[in-house]
Structure 1
Amino acid sequence: MKLKNTFILIAFVVLCFACATNPFTGKKTMALVPNSQLFPTAFAQYDQFLTENKVVTGTKDAEMITRVGQRIAVAAERWLNANGYEGYLEDYKWEYNLVDDKTVNAWCMPGGKIVFYTGILPIAKNEAGVAAIMGHEVAHALANHGQQRMSAAYIQAGVALAGNIAIKDEQDRNAFNQYYGVGSQVGAMLPFSRAHETEADKIGIYLMAIAGYNPDEASLLWERMKANSGGSSTPEILSTHPSNDSRIANLKALAPKAKEEAAKFGVTTFRE
């Protein structure tokens, strides 16, 4: 199989399976793994994670995580309902947990299962900072980024397998594996991941504003993230995430638009 035919196959497969719609962008997205299969698996993994880690309960920080999460979830539902997506969250089972761990991280699994690590709270600094993180992580779940990443990985693996079956010459096959491995990662998978992060930043800052949190805090949060990393980072082209500077600039530009969006829902004052 010629390299050109391989790329034609990639395009064909993507077009055939780009059958879901992202409600926040209107774009078609890959959905090889249906939510009816993805959500129960995610819920089971989440429950297992909680049994293996120290969940913080009954503290002000734990209560804050739940409070912010509930407000972000309500904001998401308000936005979706107002834009013609009533019932979109029907299968989501929101849950918010704070875990005692020094890791600077937070995440939201498909279907709305959320974890914040205590290690990220000093960088969040305040409730609006938590809302900026929460909005971003929830946005990944709402936009089905996990579903899309799994779908892309299946396509990546499928094309690699097809290439190895079709290419009979060992030297050509080795060249294909070498160039396809690097090319599909740097040229497709990493940009795909960075696009998801940028998309989640936009959706997240809108959600935090609609929830009543000051969207100006989002860029300040990433300035603190940058300071915490010592200012060093992987070159953007080789990273799953945009650079800190790119995110800070993007979030600063989005903050006024987020306030305008919040005003549509009667939200004109913001919590810090």
Structure 2
Amino acid sequence: MRVLLWGLLALVLAGCDETPTGRSQLALVPDALMAKLGADSFDEMRERRPIVEDAALERRVRCVADAVVDAARRHYPRADVPEAWEVVVFDDPTPNAFALPGGRIGVHRGLLRVAETPAQLSAVIGHEVAHVLADHGNERLTQRLGIKAALLVVGLFSEGELAGEPLRQALGVGARLGISLPFSRTHEEEADLMGLEIMAAAGFAPEASVALWRNMAAAGGGQPPQFLSTHPAHESRIEALQRHLAGARRLGPEAAPPACGLGGKGDKRAPGA
């Protein structure tokens, strides 16, 4: 048992790292495995979900994605940014997007009814790319594996009235509310602020991120209480973005956003910003 504990300790210490924002994290899954998981998941989605057959729309989304990825590489030079990114627009009416380890970006067609301009779309894609740069998927997977291992140990060594399935169930609920969900909110908040800086560095107006989440709030209706949600409440998210707008404006005042053609309003920085 002592050898096992020392081995686990060594593994934990080896996996300690920092995100691009300087937050400490524990990410134990090898990068190559994360990239393979991302590729396999993306391939499965491509097989099972319909893909938009609109070359012009795909080019416009790819234009925004390329600008965001290039800016992420410049703004976070020490982050492990995949060299090549695959971008697919899925024919799905829900307003959603995602990025996977290894360089895969999926955008739902329904998102383009909420993200009305290239700048607003860059806020979403910047947020999703930030999840990859910060290795959030690895951190979440490490966390889930750790919770399962802890519950297994409890099941093996607990005795008395608290032993067995009732205790494991209680600890499982406690782990979900006390660890999994707060960590997920931390990831979302970190990705919001990283994405804000990335879109600004690409030349897009950072104010568009606030407009985007207001659109999301209008489209999404109510949310569960924040302490039971994996995402921050819309109001909290917008307030946090507004607090960081001034700093984001300074990141790329001379950069011009690419002409990606999703719309015209709200894409350019205000004069003197």
Distance 1:105-1:268 versus aligned 2 partners, 3 A rule? closer
Secondary structure at the counterpart of residue 152 of structure 2: helix
The answer to whether structure 1 residue 257 and structure 2 residue 247 are counterparts is: yes
Q: Report if the CA contact (8 A) 2:155-2:163 is conserved.
A: no
Question: The residue matched to 2:252 in structure 1 has which SS?
Answer: helix
**Structure 1 segment 181-200 matched on structure 2, within 5 A:** 181-200=172-191
2:204 paired residue number: 213
Task: Please give the alpha-carbon distance, in whole angstroms, between the structure 2 residues aligned to 1:167 and 1:72.
Answer: 50
Kindly indicate whether residue 74 of structure 2 is the aligned counterpart of residue 75 of structure 1.
no
Task: Please name the residue that 1:242 is paired with.
Answer: 232
In the comparison of the two structures, how many residue pairs are matched? 254
Q: How does 1:222-241 map to 2 (within 5 A)?
A: 222-230=213-221, 232-241=222-231
Question: Are 1:13 and 1:155, in contact at CA under 8 Å, matched by a contact in 2?
Answer: no
Residues in 1 aligned to 2:60 and 2:179: alpha-carbon distance in whole angstroms: 38
TM-score using structure 1 length: 0.86
After superposition, what is the alpha-carbon deviation per residue over 1:197-243, rounded to whole angstroms, capped at 9, x for unaligned? Answer: 0000000010001111111010111111111122x110000000010
> Gaps (5+ residues) in structure 1?
1-10
Alignment correspondent of 2:25:
29
For 1:20 and 1:73, the matched residues in 2 are separated by 22
2:86 to 85, 91, 95: 95
Corresponding residue number in structure 2 for 1:3: none
The residue identity in structure 1 corresponding to 2:56 is K
- Name the amino acid aligned to 2:199: M
Cα RMSD after superposing both structures: 2.3
- Shift of residue 178 of structure 1? 3.5
Matches within 5 A, 1:38-53: 38-53=34-49
CA distance in 2, matches of 1:12, 1:262: 43
> How far apart are the structure 2 equivalents of 1:136 and 1:171?
43
Structure 1: distance between partners of 2:188 and 2:10: 24
Supply the distance in 1 between the matched residues of 2:251 and 2:63 (Cα, whole angstroms). 22
Q: Partners of 1:229 and 1:179 in 2: how far apart?
A: 32
Structure 1 contact 191–240 (Cα < 8 Å) conserved: yes
Identity across the alignment (%): 31
> SS state of the match for residue 98, structure 1?
strand
Farther off after superposition, 253-262 or 155-164: 253-262
Q: For residue 19 of structure 1, what is the aligned residue in structure 2?
A: 16
Q: Does 1:165 align with 2:162?
A: no
Q: Are the structure 2 counterparts of residues 150 and 68 from structure 1 closer, same or farther at C-alpha, using a change threshold of 3 Å? A: same
* 1:155-181 deviation per Cα after TM superposition (whole angstroms, max 9, x unaligned): 010000010101033534345223311
Contact 1:206 1:262 in 2 (8 A): no
CA change 1:80–1:214 in 2 (3 A) is: same
Distance 2:10 2:235 in 1: 35
> 1:13 & 1:181 partners in 2: Cα distance?
25
Q: Distance in 1 between matches of 2:170 and 2:11?
A: 20
Which position in structure 2 is the counterpart of 1:8?
A: none
**Distance in 1 between the 2:183 and 2:97 partners?**
20
Q: 1:18 to 1:32 in 2, by over 3 A?
A: closer
**Structure 2 residue runs without a partner (length 5+):** 1-7, 258-265, 269-273
Correspondences of 1:96-175 after superposition (within 5 Å):
96-169=87-160, 171-175=162-166
